[in-house]
């Protein structure tokens, strides 16, 4: 304000004088700038000093420690490589009609003298089941299971997940158990999407005969039962997701996607219980997927054993909790089957009708809900 007063204010007696000539105006303008220069220099110095202070006092701009500008690209490339690996394995293992037999393993089940060994043994001693080993893809859920599989079997796929450790025994309904079950559903959806039919079998299901003649020709999705009511289209059958035969088509691909997505609506439930929830949903009938339930006469288990040794195709160590209990009773089950097969080759044998001597350790370890009554009231 003082600068403006000194430059512009005239003596009171000269307020109405004429404007000075142009030369006088230019001289006045230069004089005005010279008077303002010190102020501008001071302002610039203050601003520059402030900026330098802020620059040195602020932390440097850093990316997070784990930041990787190529991370998304690397992840995508890795996923594509895994998919190509899976395609190669499926192509090698497929039956002529593009069907795959599949099972999953973690380290606890792949250990020597554990479930994987018993499963392979059942294929070896079953009635003309050895050939199916050429079409069995073993999906390993951790690195140790994958390494063990490679020592015993030609078709192994490593599905281990970054940040997840599925190597230990997963107790029924524990968090790891649920993650494993849903990982399996998601993976099977991928197999369908690649155009392969599959027969999925849990590793605690023993194979004794060719199961394919006993599937329903009109079924898209076929599932074994803990308890079978006698009607393969009755949605009130109590199914078991450990044994499923699924044809790859638009209906089943949509169904598996819906099944996997439904886990978000039924948090804390495993795939089998969620299936029991959604099987009545109108969406299932809208997409037209044809669900068929398999007879325990051919596909039995500890819940409801197959009583006829001349018809049994598979037996499941269901209604049983605990790896040790399962391994013990399956070992006895295989002994029962060997005795039956020996009796077939011994014409002089005087043995009665074969029967299972299991469950033993599994008895009472876990029971499914009470078996529903069949239509005849039994």
Percentage of the chain with pLDDT > 90? 65
Judge contact between 225 and 237, C-beta under 8 A: yes
Which comes out higher in pLDDT, residue 375 or 240?
A: 240
Structural contact between residues 194 and 187, judged by C-beta atoms closer than 8 angstroms: no
Q: How far is CA 228 from CA 98, 157, 237, 358, in A?
A: 29, 33, 6, 19
Nearest to 200 by CA among 131, 110, 132, 136: 136
CA angle 294, 297, 300 (to 5 degrees): 75
pLDDT digits (tens, 9 = 90+) for 208-227: 999 999 999 999 999 999 99
The pLDDT, as a whole number, for residue 20 is 45
Q: What pLDDT does residue 180 have?
A: 82
Within a 10 A sphere around the Cβ of 29, how many other Cβ atoms? 11
- Domain chopping of the chain, boundaries: 79-293
Q: Is the pLDDT of residue 5 over 80?
A: no
pLDDT class for 73, splitting at 50, 70, 90?
low
Assess contact for 271 and 182: CB atoms under 8 A. yes
Higher-scoring residue by pLDDT: 147, 62: 147
List CB contacts of 320: < 8 A, sequence separation 6 or more: 302, 326, 329, 359, 361, 362, 365, 366
Q: Which of 211, 270, 195 is nearest to 245 (CA)?
A: 211
Give me the mean pLDDT over the 232-248 stretch.
97
Give the model's confidence band at 13: pLDDT under 50 very low, under 70 low, under 90 confident, else very high.
very low
Mean pLDDT, the chain, rounded, equals 82
Question: pLDDT by residue (tens digit) across 296-349?
Answer: 999 999 999 999 999 999 999 999 999 999 999 999 999 999 999 999 877 655
**Looking at the domain 79-293, which fold is it?**
Spore Coat Polysaccharide Biosynthesis Protein SpsA; Chain A (3.90.550)
For range 214-243, the mean pLDDT = 97
Q: What is the mean pLDDT of residues 67-92?
A: 80
Q: Which has the higher per-residue pLDDT, 77 or 109? A: 109
What confidence score (pLDDT) does residue 354 get?
A: 87
What does the pLDDT read at residue 300?
A: 98
Beta strand 197-201 pairing with 238-246: antiparallel
Q: Give the residue with greater pLDDT, 254 vs 378.
A: 254
Cα–Cα distance measured from residue 32 to residue 6, given in angstroms and rounded to the nearest whole number: 9
Give the pTM. Answer: 0.76
pLDDT at 375 over 90: no
């Amino acid at each position: 304000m003082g600068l403006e007063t000194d430059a512009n204010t005239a003596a009171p007696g000269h307020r109405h004088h004429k404007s000075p000539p142009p030369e006088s105006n230019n001289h006045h303008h230069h004089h005005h700038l010279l008077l303002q220069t010190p102020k501008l220099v001071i302002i610039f110095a203050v601003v520059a000093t402030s900026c330098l202070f802020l620059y040195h006092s602020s932390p440097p701009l850093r990316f997070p420690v784990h930041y990787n500008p190529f991370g998304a690209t690397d992840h995508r490339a890795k996923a594509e490589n895994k998919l190509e690996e899976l395609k190669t394995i499926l192509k090698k293992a497929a039956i002529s009609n593009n069907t795959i037999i599949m099972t999953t393993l973690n380290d606890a089940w792949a250990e020597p003298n554990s479930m994987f060994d018993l499963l392979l043994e059942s294929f070896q001693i079953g009635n003309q089941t050895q050939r199916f080993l050429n079409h069995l893809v073993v999906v390993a859920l951790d690195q140790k299971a994958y390494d063990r599989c490679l020592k015993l079997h030609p078709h192994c796929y490593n599905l281990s997940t970054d940040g997840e450790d599925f190597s230990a025994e997963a107790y029924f309904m524990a968090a790891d158990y649920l993650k494993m079950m849903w990982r399996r559903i998601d993976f099977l959806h991928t197999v369908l999407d690649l155009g392969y039919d599959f027969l999925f079998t849990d590793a605690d299901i023993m194979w004794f005969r060719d199961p394919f003649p006993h599937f329903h020709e009109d079924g898209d999705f076929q599932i074994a039962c803990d308890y079978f009511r006698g009607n393969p289209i009755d949605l009130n059958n109590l199914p078991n997701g450990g044994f499923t035969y699924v044809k790859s088509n638009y209906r089943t691909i949509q169904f598996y996607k819906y099944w996997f997505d439904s886990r978000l609506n039924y948090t804390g439930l495993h795939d089998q219980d969620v299936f029991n929830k959604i099987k009545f949903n109108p969406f299932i009938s809208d997409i037209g997927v044809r669900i068929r339930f398999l007879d325990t006469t051919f596909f039995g288990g500890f819940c409801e054993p197959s009583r006829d040794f001349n018809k049994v195709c598979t037996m499941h160590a269901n209604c049983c909790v605990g790896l040790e209990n399962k391994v013990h009773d399956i070992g006895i089950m295989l002994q029962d089957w060997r005795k039956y097969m020996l009796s077939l080759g011994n014409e002089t044998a005087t043995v009665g009708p074969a029967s299972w001597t299991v469950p033993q350790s599994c008895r009472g370890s876990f029971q499914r809900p009470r078996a529903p009554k069949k239509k005849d009231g039994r």
